[in-house]
Amino acid sequence: MKRISVQAANGTYEVLCGRGALRELPHVVSRIRQEGAVFVVSSPRVWRHCGARVEKLLGGTRRATILMNDAETAKNLSTVERACRHLVRAGADRRALIVAVGGGVVGDVAGFVAASYARGIALIHIPTTVVAQVDSALGGKTGVNLPEGKNLVGAFYPPKGVVADPELLSTLPPREFRSGIYEIVKYGVIGDVKLFEFLEKNMEKVLRRDRAALGYVIERSIAQKARVVSEDEHESGLREILNFGHTFAHALESVTRYRKYLHGEAVGWGMIAAARLAVEMGMFSSRDEDRVASVTARVGPLPAWPSIPAAKLIAAMQADKKTRAGRLRFVLPERIGTVRCGVEAEAEVLARVLRACAGGAVQTKAAKSRRK
């Protein structure tokens, strides 16, 4: 088990990662809890799998469990309100501690609840999906969606601790498991050549959930996320690299009303589109684009690109938080392991890339890469 430190404005917190890390939960809680009660936020399906184990580890400190729908469509202000009212009825005060047990939706909602309730109460994350373990549970981004766009209402609110145990991934359905691997590919492209090369050579082992391979890629991803957010907690500089593929991804999720893609799948498409845009702009080699397409395709087949005009997708991108003065800004690769932030693209070039995705040109390339 590894202990990885993350620097935040309100102090340093630890990420415990590795098989068996969940057994350390009582020690994590005892170090953080300020004599208040513990309130668990989870979802029915996650709680069925690991609720009894978490309850046993928390013992008499747990006062109540709040179960919420963990679909992306439920990641909204209504869900936040219901959770806060449940806390009031259960007697939560400013010394309360929330333990979020679930994937990215549960973590984002529980984090926003913790940031808002009584103007801020303590929070621990127990991520149960690959996406949550390597990405969303770290760094303090919390929030919910609006009909106009993804994650538009939220707060930076770092947890007091994170317990990332790969054993909790064993019951993940194959599609959800694969969805998280796209985020791991992202880490390879933006800053870890060794991780990317490992995925090129060992993707099948990772997809089989081989203990050593999965543990390796999760630990390297967590270490990279910790490094980035420790240096730039509030996304004023370096942290923007974590948004590689996400401007496209958030637009895809928004225009399909969060019903077509899992988040990681949208990121998979976003990385493919961003690599193509970088080639169109002369920043990225076609050879490296093929490598990104190949690794992404080997994770598994993505849901088809939506039959939506390029203009509508561009309009959805305008709602992205990274837009400045109405101008879209992208994180684009320069080579494997290095990306550039704040790149503006001409509307004509962007529309050409989107039409290529919609018309099948990019899908064909990815499919050929998958067969290699």
Strand order in the sheet with 2-8: 2-8, 11-17, 161-164, 122-127, 97-102, 38-42, 62-67
What share of the chain in percent tops pLDDT 90?
Answer: 87
Specify whether 149 is located in the same domain as 200. no
Distance CA 128, CA 275 (A): 30
Nearest CA-CA partner of 320 in 150, 67, 79: 150
Residue 253's CATH number: 1.20.1090.10
For the annotated catalytic residues, the residue numbers are 119, 141, 183, 225, 235, 239, 243, 246, 250, 263
Specify whether 164 is located in the same domain as 236. no
Contacts for 78 with CB less than 8 Å, ≥ 6 apart: none
Specify whether 119 is located in the same domain as 149. yes
User: What CA–CA distances, in Å, run from 51 to 21, 43, 82, 160, 319?
Assistant: 16, 10, 21, 21, 37
Confidence class for position 60, pLDDT limits 50, 70, 90:
confident
Residue 119's CATH number: 3.40.50.1970
Nearest CA-CA partner of 217 in 239, 238, 202: 202
pLDDT of residue 99: 98
SS3 state at 286? helix
126-157 confidence digits (pLDDT tens): 999 999 999 999 999 999 999 888 899 999 99
Task: Give 305's DSSP letter.
Answer: P
Say if residues 363 and 357 touch (Cβ distance below 8 Å). Answer: yes
Distance CA 267, CA 186 (A): 8
What is the sign, positive or negative, of the torsion defined by CA atoms of 145, 148, 149, 153?
A: negative
Specify whether 76 is located in the same domain as 212. no
Give the residue from 116, 136, 169 where a domain finishes.
169
**Tokens representing 246?**
């996400």
For the segment 84-97, the average pLDDT, to the nearest whole number, is: 96
What is the radius of gyration, based on Cα positions, of the chain?
20
Q: Which domain holds residue 247?
A: 174-371
Q: Is 256 exposed, middle or buried (0-12, 13-18, 19+ CB in 10 A)?
A: middle
Cα angle for residues 304, 307, 313 (degrees, 5° grid) = 100
Q: Is 202 exposed, middle or buried (0-12, 13-18, 19+ CB in 10 A)?
A: middle
Contacts for 46 with CB less than 8 Å, ≥ 6 apart: 70, 101, 102, 103, 106, 128
Helices (H) and strands (E) in the chain, counts: 14, 11
**Tokens representing 241?**
């690299």
Specify whether 161 is located in the same domain as 188. no
Say if residues 75 and 108 touch (Cβ distance below 8 Å). Answer: yes
User: What CA–CA distances, in Å, run from 53 to 33, 57, 286?
Assistant: 19, 6, 49
Specify whether 202 is located in the same domain as 262. yes
pLDDT of residue 34: 80
- CB atoms near residue 291 (< 10 Å): 19
Specify whether 154 is located in the same domain as 224. no
Give the residue from 122, 147, 169 where a domain finishes.
169
Total domain count, the chain: 2
Specify whether 72 is located in the same domain as 184. no
109-133 confidence digits (pLDDT tens): 999 999 999 999 999 999 999 999 9
Rounded (10°) angle between helices 25-32 and 44-58: 70
First CA to last CA distance, the chain: 36
Specify whether 61 is located in the same domain as 95. yes
Give the residue from 169, 196, 220 where a domain finishes.
169
pTM: 0.91
Specify whether 110 is located in the same domain as 220. no
pLDDT of residue 363: 53
Distance CA 323, CA 306 (A): 23
Q: Which residues of 328-337 are buried (b: 16+ CB within 10 A; e: fewer)?
A: bbbbbbeebb
Q: Give the position of tokens 């399906």.
A: 45
Q: Give the lowest-confidence range in 163-177, 195-209, 256-270, 309-323.
A: 309-323
Specify whether 180 is located in the same domain as 162. no
Give yes or no for residue 196 having a pLDDT over 60. yes
Specify whether 165 is located in the same domain as 247. no
Confidence class for position 188, pLDDT limits 50, 70, 90:
very high
